[in-house]
Amino acid sequence: MYNGKLKLWPRHTLAGLSLLTILISAGNASAQDDSLSLESIEIPQAQRQLCFGFADVSDPKALAVCDALNLDLNVKARELSEQWVRQEPNSPAAQFALAEVLLTIEGNMPRALFHLNRAEELTNYNDIPEALESGNLQWHYLTLSQLSYVHQLMGDQLRSLEYLDRVEEVYGQDVESFRGWPLIKLKQYDAARDSANLVLQNSDNERERARAWNTICAADLASLQPIESLTACDRAVSEDEDFADSVSDYDTVYLSNAAEVSLSLLRMDEAEEYLNRATRYLNADSVANPWIYKLYLLMNQGRFDESREALDRMLVWREAQEPIVNVMNRAEHFLVTASFFLLAGYSEDAIKLTTTALNQPDRNGSYSADDAQKDSMAALINMMANRLEYQIQLEKISTMDFFDSLSARVDALSFQVSAWRSERRAAALFAEFDVLQNRLRPYAPLDVHIPEWIEPEIIGSIGTGVMSNIIEQANSNGAFMLNAGYYHAYKTEVAALDNDRAAILREGAAALSQLPTQEVLLRARVAAQMGKAAWLRNDYGEALTLFETAYQQDPSILRRLAISLPVDISNDGAEFSEQVADYLAASPRFSQDANGLGLEVSASPDLSICLKTRTGTILSCYTMAAAESESSKWNAQQLTQMFHTQTFGLGYEISQAQRSILMGSSVILSSQNDRSLQRNREAVLDR
């Protein structure tokens, strides 16, 4: 999804419960070696809390670090591990301990990798006797397994596989269940499937089997053809349920993946049920925040009140996540929030979020998509946000005198230039034919998730000629096999960009008749394009019906598509009302026409503007009391601007404090000061 579609269950180190576990696992291969005789191994009598995955770590400094970590004294753990490295720079245990703190507590992968590399240099044993004799066997084993994990997260899958091979070579550990995901990332789908099948044939371990089914789930989705069933992803979920000791151990990754597969089969209700199951319990270790995916789903369906609630709950979940998880899925949080801000009218915040997502390196080793795909979506939404802000600036300029508007016009132009730059960047990232073809498939698995109501924007970035060929090729390859409405929606967008009115109405009608009813925002986009075409053909009745439908489904669509809504502006004759009517007539959102919708301005009893259908049904009304301390002109400007804000957004007031949280400021501190967020946290925990 967002940062990537399907996800791997976060792999912890391959460590067993004791040194003895490793030796026994290698015993069959080395039974002839007297140095590995079980009689010669001292078995610890006392068991204590696990330290770096082992129950028999004896080094006092390592135990002190682990005690600090177990007590959530993270600063203390950092101080102890750094002090240990300063005192014993040639200790692999010290280097590993500091790397573990940097990785799991701070999410600082590059620095963790530096210390892991140093630990490997200090060990680099070729067999168990050599490692055992050194007294550093545990640290060598942990270093190799963690190096495989970090390289996977940082995108170097070949190195990840090399370290898995090294663990197997030196310690005889069965690592087959960990090979599947790096192979998926390398797009070696057949090899990944073969590896997973080996695990299913040879392993009775529920965790390994769940991981294998998850790998097959991803491999099955690699084809452009829609898969026929949810078997593999269902099995990943069921295996995970089998081994869970308690419901709090239940991992959300497999449920989120199953939801993705359901969406690729266009089973929206089934996908939502999987996500509902995943949201029941906070899981700090899971790379999958189900509220992100539910927020996308709710937005697609135009369920805006529920979307607003999901946004709050997403923050609560993010607050609870471990730092390393936050590093891996931060782009997901940024991009889904930016998408909501587009709908809500907070375009400047959407620009900041997408710019941050573009500029920060992403750690996506647990996601099926890659950095380029994340960047392509970020660039696309950044383009949309800049265009949206340009329209908002034009709306404000319509209420200003010419000289007063000069500065605003320069600002507006800067947003237009920024939109063009982002569009070019998005076009470059989408340039590959295969990527684009798979991108057109509804809810394309494995690729980064771009909402279906946003995807038509790609056509304008790439060009209608190229995209027309790709759309037809994708259709021939079965991308729209499950529902041809998506094909016709893309064709509608092509026709709109080519200004082919007949094709817009023809393809749009086909899209609206076939698209799933849940695709509310995509249907609104199609209806808006059809309304514009019908109006230009002087079919006023049909055009107004289409505009009304589009607006009621997605109030922001007319502004996002830069459409001027035909309206018949009227007022009560007051001087104030006349002034407001002039501002509305100059607005890019409206065009004066006697055949249009009703737009009524009144100065009594309060200042108000109402947008109505031809039959008098209210579509939007904004009323405010006059500020007596301000001039009539100021009141007219304020009323007009606030009417635009409410009419072409969702009408939600999102405080600056909460927007700062959404953009990455301290969630914990802010949640303590935000009662609504605190209530949401309690609600999640009570579910």
Q: Domain end: 560, 592, 625, which one?
A: 560
Whether 573 and 621 share a structural domain:
yes
Q: Residue 565: enclosing H or E segment and its boundaries?
A: strand 565-571
Whether 468 and 585 share a structural domain:
no
Burial of 348 (0-12, 13-18, 19+ CB in 10 A): middle
Q: Domain end: 560, 581, 616, which one?
A: 560
DSSP state, residue 103: I
Please give the structure tokens belonging to residue 402.
């010419």
CB 423 within 8 A of CB 461: yes
- Count of alpha carbons within 13 angstroms of residue 116, beta-carbon side: 24
Question: What does DSSP say about strands 607-612 and 618-624: parallel, antiparallel, or unpaired?
Answer: antiparallel
- Count of alpha carbons within 13 angstroms of residue 366, beta-carbon side: 25
Whether 4 and 127 share a structural domain:
yes
Whether 487 and 577 share a structural domain:
no
Whether 450 and 539 share a structural domain:
yes
Q: Residue 600: enclosing H or E segment and its boundaries?
A: strand 597-602
| Predicted local confidence at residue 24, as pLDDT | 55
Q: Is residue 367 part of a domain?
A: yes
Please give the structure tokens belonging to residue 454.
């946003």
Q: Is residue 221 part of a domain?
A: no
Whether 572 and 433 share a structural domain:
no
Q: Is residue 652 part of a domain?
A: no
| Predicted local confidence at residue 230, as pLDDT | 57
| Predicted local confidence at residue 260, as pLDDT | 81
Residue 312 makes CB contacts below 8 A (sequence gap 6+) with: 676, 677, 680
| Predicted local confidence at residue 432, as pLDDT | 72
Among candidates 93, 100, 145, which has minimal Cα distance to 122?
93
Separation CA 407–CA 510 (nearest Å): 45
Whether 384 and 455 share a structural domain:
yes
Task: Name 597's bridge partners.
Answer: 567
Pick out the chain residues at pLDDT < 50. Answer: 1-4, 9-13, 15-17, 28-47, 243-249, 665-687
Whether 13 and 158 share a structural domain:
yes
CB 644 within 8 A of CB 555: no
Residue 148 makes CB contacts below 8 A (sequence gap 6+) with: 14, 159, 160, 161, 162, 163, 164, 167, 178
Backbone angles phi, psi at 664, to 5 degrees: 110, 5
Q: Is residue 42 part of a domain?
A: yes
| Predicted local confidence at residue 53, as pLDDT | 82
- Tell me whether the omega of the peptide bond preceding residue 605 falls within 30 degrees of 0, making it cis: yes
Strands across the sheet containing 590-592:
590-592, 565-571, 597-602, 607-612, 618-624
How far from 516 is each of 139, 272, 483, 489, 519, CA to CA, in Å?
A: 55, 15, 8, 12, 6
Whether 496 and 609 share a structural domain:
no
Q: Where residue 141 sits, what CATH number does that domain have?
A: 1.25.40.10
CB 185 within 8 A of CB 158: no
Q: Return contacts of 576-582, CB within 8 angstroms, 24+ apart.
A: 576/603, 576/607, 576/632, 576/635, 576/636, 577/601, 577/602, 577/603, 579/632, 579/633, 579/636, 580/607, 580/609, 580/636, 580/639, 580/640
Q: Is residue 459 part of a domain?
A: yes
The three-class DSSP label of residue 154 is coil
Q: Domain end: 124, 142, 173, which one?
A: 173
Q: Is residue 321 part of a domain?
A: no
| Predicted local confidence at residue 431, as pLDDT | 74
Give tens-digit pLDDT for 512-564: 999 999 999 999 999 999 999 999 999 999 999 999 999 999 999 999 999 99
Whether 476 and 577 share a structural domain:
no
- Residue 622 identity (one-letter amino acid): Y
Q: Where residue 605 sits, what CATH number does that domain have?
A: 3.30.160
Specify the number of domains making up the chain.
3
CB 644 within 8 A of CB 339: no
Whether 139 and 115 share a structural domain:
yes
The two counts, helices (H) then strands (E), for the chain are 33, 5
Whether 6 and 155 share a structural domain:
yes
- pTM value > 0.85: no
* Residue-range definition of the domain harbouring residue 417: 359-560
Three-state secondary structure readout of 426-441: HHHHCCCHHHHHHHCC
Q: Is residue 491 part of a domain?
A: yes
For the chain, report the end-to-end CA distance as a whole number of angstroms.
25
Q: Is residue 676 part of a domain?
A: no
